[in-house]
Amino acid sequence: MPTPAAVAACDWTDTEVSVSLERGAHGRVSVHGRLCASPVWARWDGTTLWLVGSGASPVGTDEVRVRVELGPGVTAAVRSVAATVVYAARGEGTRWDTEVHVAEGASLDWRPEPVILTARARHRSTTTVHAAAGAKVLLDEVLVLGREGERPSAARATLDVRVDGAQALLTSIDTSLPGWSGPAGVLDARVVAHRLRLRPPGEAGQAPIGLGGLDPGAVRLDPAPGCHLGVATGPALAHTHAALDAVLPA
């Protein structure tokens, strides 16, 4: 675990990584853009875009922006090699904005490791998905509210989904709001997970639901045609992932 001095030394104020995946004439997917900007590096292995943290971040007043664009007909997965740990904040705190563009006929499977908030974090994150009506998207976001034995810190996480420019979904969790951890919120859960599934209108029938018993801490919403959202809360990652799979399988 990094020491406080080491964390303080790794303070990137403003970072942007921008990756574009395009299918060429012979079917090969090529990658373009700014793939490396500390503390985030991106590596394409032909099927998966790997997000790699090159230092302790976000911390202090870090602002990180990640933009990924899939061209027509591209199929790609996005993963991270480790969890993202949000360290102690200064000033207005840290911010992480993710913007995803998925073109007609493209398919994106975005499931990185969890985001873990430490006790002194003060963090804002926004994930914005711009999808064509003929695109497919599977996207997971998992938030861990404090490491073992820590109290939850301040965080606001927003998921904004637009299909052909029209708003399909806008949802968030904000730990600064009164009652956020009570019965009307996450009910003292330590892990909060969201799963988004977008499918083209021609495939917008009933999305599959797991066969196991549904967890009382999990729910599925269908806010727009072809748009499905699974939400699960729980005391630990394994429990929460299982509950999420039960309401909306990957």
* Other CB atoms within 10 Å distance of the CB of residue 157: 21
* Other CB atoms within 10 Å distance of the CB of residue 224: 16
Please tell me the least confidently modeled range out of 89-93, 185-189, 212-216.
212-216
Name the residue with tokens 């303070």. 11
- Going by pLDDT thresholds of 50, 70 and 90, the confidence category of residue 188 is confident
State the pLDDT at residue 9: 43
Cβ–Cβ < 8 Å for 130, 69: no
- Going by pLDDT thresholds of 50, 70 and 90, the confidence category of residue 53 is confident
* Other CB atoms within 10 Å distance of the CB of residue 86: 25
Short-list 55, 57, 65, CA closest to 14: 65
Kindly tell me if the per-residue pLDDT of 87 is higher than 70: yes
- What pLDDT, in 10s, does the model give residues 5-22? 444 444 556 789 999 999
State the pLDDT at residue 17: 92
Cβ–Cβ < 8 Å for 186, 180: yes
State pTM to two decimals: 0.89
Kindly tell me if the per-residue pLDDT of 212 is higher than 60: no
Q: How many CA atoms within 13 Å lie on the side-chain side of 227?
A: 19
State the pLDDT at residue 1: 47
- Going by pLDDT thresholds of 50, 70 and 90, the confidence category of residue 154 is confident
Kindly tell me if the per-residue pLDDT of 163 is higher than 70: yes
